[in-house]
């Protein structure tokens, strides 16, 4: 009778660092495909369901317009988008343009507030990489990424970025954006890829540069609304580089960002907003999410 010998394979003891390095690429690939889960799982920050959809949309489409009523935390959700892009894509240069200088400083300080809630985010930030001056506000990450802000001015020249975010673009002029800020989107992000030859690197596909425009609701006669309609037409034509989202105040009320009483008071005191609301009700128009083949 033959004897069966069973040999146990000796289990290799691996350090946490070794396990981390082996799984690093898989995790990065997973989080780049699921950016909303990166924010909730890795950074440990809370997102509402509609915010998860917005984060996904912002990452999926190179050209994105987000229009929403006041109290929906447009700047906050866009800031979270910028943070996850900066961490997941090394050497990412992100520029945020604000019509008011004080908004630029608040944008950067908000990142510091998030870092106090998230130890992982704090560990991603360069120790002395925070600037909160009135004329220059930026925050640098350990992987080389930078989130910087610039005041809305024709003097803001010479800056280069991979992602351009324009806050309250309804308060800007299209000519200034086209002439001063859009040209800042040059030299797409291209990681060094150590070990590859120059020919091999050149054969790799380049990343899309991105433009995000945020705004509260304004009149249909303004250029920003016509720009919004232009994006919708691109979507109807099947152009997958464009997407728009328009959210009413109901999202803010439901998720406790703002109370219904404050919204009603704002409409009573703002005749322009009241006229917009009446027009919407008369035409029975309710835009929630404008997207084609988004998910």
Higher pLDDT, 288 or 256: 256
Does 124 fall in a domain?
yes
Does 203 fall in a domain?
no
Does 201 fall in a domain?
no
- Taking the C-alpha atoms of residue 218 and residue 227, their distance in angstroms, rounded to an integer, is 13
Does 242 fall in a domain?
yes
Report pLDDT digits (tens) over 180-225: 888 788 777 776 666 778 787 777 777 888 999 998 877 777 888 8
Does 197 fall in a domain?
no
Smallest CA-to-CA distance from 179 within 206, 199, 152 is with 152
Count structural domains, the chain: 1
Half-sphere exposure of 293 (CA within 13 A, CB side): 9
Report pLDDT digits (tens) over 62-112: 999 998 877 788 888 999 999 999 999 999 999 988 877 677 778 888 888
- Taking the C-alpha atoms of residue 103 and residue 114, their distance in angstroms, rounded to an integer, is 17
The structure's pTM equals 0.79
Does 200 fall in a domain?
no
- Average pLDDT of the residues of the chain: 80
- Domain interval for residue 218: 19-189+208-283
pLDDT above 70: percentage of residues in the chain: 81
CATH of the domain at 232: 3.40.50.300
Report pLDDT digits (tens) over 115-138: 999 999 999 999 888 887 766 788
Q: Is the pLDDT of residue 285 over 90?
A: no
Q: Please give the pLDDT value at position 34.
A: 95
Does 75 fall in a domain?
yes
Does 194 fall in a domain?
no
Q: Please give the pLDDT value at position 44.
A: 93
- Taking the C-alpha atoms of residue 247 and residue 290, their distance in angstroms, rounded to an integer, is 9
- Taking the C-alpha atoms of residue 68 and residue 62, their distance in angstroms, rounded to an integer, is 19
What DSSP character marks residue 288?
A: S
């Amino acid at each position: 009778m033959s004897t069966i010998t069973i040999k146990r394979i000796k289990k290799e003891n691996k350090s946490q660092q070794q396990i981390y390095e082996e799984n690093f690429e898989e995790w990065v690939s997973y989080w780049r495909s699921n950016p909303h889960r990166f924010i909730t799982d890795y950074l440990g920050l809370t997102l509402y369901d509609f915010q998860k959809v917005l984060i996904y949309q912002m990452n999926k489409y190179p050209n994105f317009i987000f229009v929403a009523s006041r109290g929906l935390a447009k700047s906050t959700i866009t800031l979270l988008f910028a943070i996850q892009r900066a961490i997941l894509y090394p050497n990412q240069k992100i520029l945020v343009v604000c019509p008011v200088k004080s908004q630029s400083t608040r944008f950067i300080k908000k990142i510091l507030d998030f870092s106090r809630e998230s130890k992982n985010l704090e560990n991603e930030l360069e120790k002395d990489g925070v600037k909160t001056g009135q004329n220059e506000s930026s925050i640098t990450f350990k992987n080389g990424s930078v989130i910087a802000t610039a005041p809305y001015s024709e003097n803001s020249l010479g800056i280069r970025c991979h992602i351009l975010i324009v806050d309250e673009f309804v308060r800007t002029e299209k000519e200034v954006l086209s002439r001063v800020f859009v040209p800042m989107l040059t030299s797409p992000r291209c990681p060094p890829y150590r070990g590859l030859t120059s020919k091999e690197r050149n054969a790799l596909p380049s990343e899309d540069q991105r433009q995000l425009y945020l705004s509260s609701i304004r009149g249909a006669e303004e250029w920003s609304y016509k720009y919004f309609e232009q994006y919708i037409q691109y979507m109807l034509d099947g152009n997958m580089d464009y997407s728009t989202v328009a959210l009413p105040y109901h999202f803010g009320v439901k998720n406790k960002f703002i109370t219904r009483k404050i919204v009603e008071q704002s409409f009573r005191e703002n005749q322009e907003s009241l006229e917009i609301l009446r027009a919407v009700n008369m035409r029975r128009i309710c835009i929630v999410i404008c997207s084609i083949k988004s998910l």
